[in-house]
Amino acid sequence: SIASADMDLNQLEAFLTAQTKKQGGITSDQAAVIAKFWKNHRAQIHESLISQSRWDNVLKNMNWRVDLKSQSRHIDQINTPVAIVEMELGKKGQ
């Protein structure tokens, strides 16, 4: 819960306090150890979670435009917007 929410120190303190008051929760000593570990390793844990949840491909470039028909055989097709999207994917780091 702490890592997935990327809790700041205030949120962490409130969460751990609630866990110590819960029936069958953690002790104050355990809460202190968890808080110290989170303070020291928060950035690395967050980066690890992001890299694990990301696909291999990344969006390298994106182009888009909206076209309107100005001539058509049927009058109801005039001024009908059409969106065209072009996305270029690539491997991370390449």
Are residues 46 and 15 part of one domain?
yes
2 in a domain, yes or no?
no
25 in a domain, yes or no?
yes
Are residues 49 and 13 part of one domain?
yes
3 in a domain, yes or no?
no
pLDDT one-digit tens code per residue, 43-54: 999 888 887 776
Is the Cα torsion angle 2, 3, 6, 10 positive or negative in sign? Answer: positive
Is pLDDT of 88 > 80? yes
Domain count, the chain: 2
Are residues 48 and 23 part of one domain?
yes
Structural domain range at position 42: 9-53
Q: What is the pTM of this model?
A: 0.54
What pLDDT is stored for residue 45 in this prediction? 93
Are residues 71 and 42 part of one domain?
no
Mean of pLDDT values over 13-17: 94
Question: Residues of the chain with pLDDT > 90: what percent?
Answer: 49
